[in-house]
Structure 1
Amino acid sequence: MENKEYAGFWIRCGAALIDMVVLIIITVVPLFFIYGDAFFIEDKNIHGIWDLLFSYILPFVGTIWFWLKYRATPGKIATKLEIVDALTGNKMSTGQAIGRYFAYIISTVPFGLGFIWIGIDKRKQGWHDKLAGTVVIRNLHKESVQFEIRPDA
């Protein structure tokens, strides 16, 4: 693909940080208003139906929707990255998106090695990318700079 490159570890890390901020705003803030301090203090896996909805269902559905509609999450959109099928460069399938989401667990469990792998892999694929058959690419297309008055005039 012309004007594209594989997205490396640090740009993807930046995109993930943006996504975390967005996720905290749309999940933790409402849960604090619903459950109060108990949400942070009590030692429960799930505090109730709203916790299940905001902490598990909404992130899953939202992430899959963003991946399929925009080929990216808000963080990847902001950093001009997109997730595509590793073989064709086309939009990933619904199955790939769901598999990629759950493959994050595999990338996370052994000390985050599946994410660190992005920094050493030649196609910059994390384990979740390899398992789902996806790659993350970066658009290198730069807008040309336009001046009202030509410098030599």
Structure 2
Amino acid sequence: MQEVLDDFASQDNHDYDVENLVYANFWRRVAASLIDGIIITFPLRLLRYAVGNSPAEQIVISLLFIVVRWLYFAFQEGGIQQATIGKRAMKLKVTNLQGEAISFGQATGRHFAKIISAMILLIGYFMAAFTEKKQALHDMIAGTLVVEDED
């Protein structure tokens, strides 16, 4: 998969300064993820308990949870700041393989690719600790990097 992504990236004719990118440390990524998890999960869990327990209400809350998580990650990582609140707190941002901002669509693909990273006993996430560019499986699938934000 990485070869395909590298071949795709090498077809670009722009001169990018990717040599100055500092790939995000695994533990900083974990900390950012914990911050984002608290920000998203706590209010939605409160909402779940505030709403009734009927199956229909629980389905609506579950769907709301999926949509809120998707929009939280896609709008922020695909937006001007290139990072969620947790990533900004840890001074990280998400880029494409050339170090540029990603689109909403690419951020959406990255978000839903996390399902694959999680399905295989979280191994897709742990890959970020061992790959050359500190990429998790969902980063490889989406063609993204998580790098230190020098701003």
Verify the 8 A CA contact 2:23 2:145 in the aligned structure 1. Answer: yes
Are residue 57 (structure 1) and residue 74 (structure 2) matched?
no
The residue that corresponds to 1:78 in the other structure is 89
In terms of fraction of residues, the more helix-rich structure is 2
Verify the 8 A CA contact 1:4 1:140 in the aligned structure 2. Answer: no
Could you say if the C-alpha distance between residues 18 and 2 of structure 1 is closer, same or farther in structure 2, counting changes exceeding 3 Å? same
TM-score scaled to structure 1, two decimals?
0.78
Structure 2 unaligned blocks of 5 or more: 1-17
The farther-off stretch of 88-97 and 109-118 is 88-97
Structure 1 unaligned blocks of 5 or more: 142-153
* Of 51, 76, 82, the match for 1:66: 76
Aligned-partner SS, 2:109: helix
For residue 71 of structure 1, what is the amino acid of its counterpart?
A: Q
Higher-Rg structure is: 1
TM-score scaled to structure 2, two decimals?
0.79
- Identity over the aligned pairs, expressed in percent? 31
Aligned residues: 133
Find the aligned partners of 2:92 and 2:66 in 1 and give their Cα distance.
25
Q: CA RMSD in A?
A: 2.2
Verify the 8 A CA contact 1:115 1:126 in the aligned structure 2. Answer: yes
